[in-house]
Amino acid sequence: MRDFAKSSYQRKKVAPNKIKIQRKPLDIKKYLRPLKIVITGLAFFTLSSGILYGIYRVVSKVTVFSLKSIEVSTAKHLTREEIIGLAGIEPGKDLLRMNLKRMGEHILQNPWVETVRINRYFPDTVSIIIAEREPIAIVNMGFIYYLDKKGNVFKGLNKGDKLDYPVITGFSEDELGNDPKGTKEALETTCYLLKILQEKGAFILADVSEIHYDRGYGFTLFTASGALPVKIGSGDFPAKIGRFARIYRDLLVQLPSIHYIDLDYNDKIIVKKS
């Protein structure tokens, strides 16, 4: 057996494998270059915005189209000065910067105004055209209001307002608030009844002092002469009033002895005497 202990062989040391990596210096400019571009762009944008804003401030103070003429349609209940005051305009204002929609909204706040149309005509004119509501009756709802032909309760009466209209009773503000749709339909029916009474005949609106509405029954008219109740119900108004008109003049002499008249039938009239 070979004695390795006495052998003259010596193992050579092997140098470990090493790869030498050369580190390049960090190029800071490479990373700062995009940042520099961004900063330059922001600075340019800020400067441009400031210049544009300055130009806008100067131009906005220049009145190119100065208002000189205000045309207002003829109105029955509002004066020209009141309409212009509601619009909030006056000569000298810049025609371009006028907010016509807002002006219209301000005018519509007046209860007499139903519709409004505003136009501007360059270089110096504004035109205001309004349509007013026209009352056809007075509705007593605790407070007294005007009623227009579309069934709208639109204005509380003030001192000096005209009172020579038929009076409508039986409606209330609570009903209008709790059941607006049903109350509006009943008021529209009231307008229909008033329209029929305005037509020529022996019994017309001038013969009526009050129209009373009852939600469960319908309508009862009260004559201007003697406040005679005339029950008319809730439908077929033209036929009922037509039948009543044929005998109304003959009944006038009997009014003191009549308690009420009931027209709420298809083919007859009930005269209830006291």
Closest by alpha carbon to 65, among 129, 128, 104, 120? 120
Stretch(es) of the chain classified as CATH 3.10.20.310: 69-132
Cα 248 to Cα 168, 194, 209, 252, 253, distances in angstroms: 22, 18, 15, 6, 10
In sequence order, which ranges of 109-261 are alpha helices (DSSP H)? 173-178, 180-198, 237-251
What averages of pLDDT result for each successive group of 10 residues across the chain (274 residues)? Answer: 52 54 58 67 71 57 80 96 96 93 97 97 96 96 95 94 94 94 96 90 87 96 93 93 90 90 91 88
The tokens of 74 are what? 């003829």
| Per-residue confidence (pLDDT) for residue 127, from 0 to 100 | 98
Could you read off the pLDDT of 210-234 as tens digits, one per residue? 999 999 999 999 999 889 999 999 9
pLDDT score, position 267: 84
pLDDT at 56: 53
Domain with CATH 3.40.50.11690 in the chain: 135-273
The CATH class of 135-273 is alpha beta
Q: Which residues, other chains included, contact 270 with Cβ-Cβ below 8 Å and sequence gap of 6+?
A: 261, 262
Which superfamily is assigned to 69-132 in CATH? membrane protein fhac (3.10.20.310)
pLDDT at 155: 95
Q: Tell me the pLDDT tens digit for each residue of 42-61.
A: 777 776 777 765 655 544 55
Q: For residue 39, what pLDDT is reported?
A: 74
For 116, other C-beta atoms within 10 Å of its C-beta total 21
Give the length of the chain. 274
Query: In whole angstroms, how large is the CA radius of gyration of the chain?
Result: 44
Identify the pLDDT of residue 158.
92
Structure confidence at residue 181 (pLDDT): 95
pLDDT of residue 52: 67
Quote the pTM value: 0.72
Give residue 256's pLDDT.
87
